[in-house]
Amino acid sequence: MDEVLLRSLTPSVLAVLVRRGADFAAAEDAVQDALIEAVRVWPAAPPRDPKGWLVTVAWRKFLDAARADAARRRREDLVDEEPAPGPAPAVDDTLQLYFLCAHPSLTPSSAVALTLRAVGGLTTRQIARAYLVPEATMAQRISRAKRTVSGVRFDRPGDVATVLRVLYLVFNEGYSGDVDLAAEAIRLTRRLAAVIDHPEVAGLLALMLLHHARRAARTAPDGSLVPLAEQDRGRWDTALIAEGVEILQAALARDRLGEFQAQAAVAALHADAPTAEETDWVQIVEWYDELTRLTDSPVVRLNRAVAVGEADGPRAGLAALAELDASLPRRTAVAAYLHERDGDLATAARLYAEAARKAPDLAERDHLTRQAARLNTRLRR
């Protein structure tokens, strides 16, 4: 069973049902039933047109459920309109489905969560981790969002900024390696950029390309994380970097700065440095100042503290870090790094071990544990 194929087809099949008039919640249930049927049937009898097969089965599942529903009379007209089985249309409705999930009646957080679940194919647990909330809380949020858009016609666009946040979260989930959705996020962002003339759409696409260009160098053969400063820059994809920089420059020339353009500018400065030592940290701090003005995000302030530590010395970075909430994710790891740079190895080792215990995934936990072990070995000599 090709799970990657099923994942790639799911959003477009869901979009077809919604476009035909199925309410969102019922359509998603029908698609999930069709996927279960596919897992059962396809290994012995794979269809020539997988999408067409899923659309046909999902639509019939929806109609079966509709007939048993209390609103049967309202649904009966849909029964008469059931399309004849055949090849699925080549139109890709996935992007339109993003806009439906970013419907104005939803809060931005609910729209992002719903899209990640319905279009991105992420589990509720993965989305909860991205939001740093309990899984049960996220499940309730998604259920409320599904009820909100149920019955909404597939004819109203959502907010572009919300769609961009959705795409970036999908990209980051894929980039982490837990679910490989980075390429899909880039594909959808390219399509969005082709139909919407907006500098922030271009900024997001540039940011994705610049990050994706470094993907091959982010992990060692054993799967361990490789920090940016230690990456083999010869493994970076120079074609993606060149494309990202070109798109970014065109967006910045329009003088309508947004947070994704500013983030892409930081990524471009990292990509432009031949070595880690030649990174223009002063300019990176300036871009983080712009990002702080645009978003006032604690995560941006955390990254800015790292950049200040590189540009002005570790003690300046620690002073910037002291202004941030101690409970901020990854703050302890940044403190460990800056204390090591300042020569306080004992404090750094203790903080690396503490950060490892708080790490959100195994790869990061292993990396921080190794850093603590490395410093403790030095201290024992």
155 band by pLDDT with thresholds 50, 70 and 90: low
3-state secondary structure of 257: coil
pLDDT of residue 158: 63
**What is the per-residue pLDDT across 340-353, written as a single tens digit (0 to 9) for each?**
999 999 999 999 99
Helix (H) or strand (E) holding 31: helix 24-41
Q: What value does the mean pLDDT take over residues 215-225?
A: 91
Cα separations (Å) of 214 from 45, 208, 234, 240, 367?
A: 40, 10, 10, 9, 18
| Residue 40 in tokens | 């059962």
Q: pLDDT exceeding 90 applies to what percent of the chain?
A: 54
| Residue 294 in tokens | 């645009």
User: How would you class 233 by CB atoms within 10 Å of its CB: exposed for 0-12, middle for 13-18, buried for 19 or more?
Assistant: middle
- Residues with Cβ within 8 Å of 324's Cβ and at least 6 positions away in sequence, in order, are 298, 301, 302, 305, 331
Whose tokens are 């008469």? That residue is: 80
Residue bearing the bigger pLDDT, 263 or 149: 263
pLDDT of residue 375: 96
**What is the per-residue pLDDT across 276-334, written as a single tens digit (0 to 9) for each?**
999 999 999 999 999 999 998 999 999 999 999 999 999 999 999 999 999 999 999 99
Angle at 336 between CA 333 and CA 337, to 5 degrees: 90
**pTM greater than 0.85:** no
Query: HEC profile for 274-326?
Result: CCHHHCCHHHHHHHHHHHHHHHCCHHHHHHHHHHHHHHHCHHHHHHHHCCCCC
Residue 223 has pLDDT above 90, yes or no: no
3-state secondary structure of 123: coil
**What is the per-residue pLDDT across 226-282, written as a single tens digit (0 to 9) for each?**
999 999 999 999 999 999 999 999 999 999 999 999 999 999 999 999 999 999 999
pLDDT of residue 91: 47
Rg (CA), the chain: 24
pLDDT of residue 126: 77
Q: What value does the mean pLDDT take over residues 6-25?
A: 84
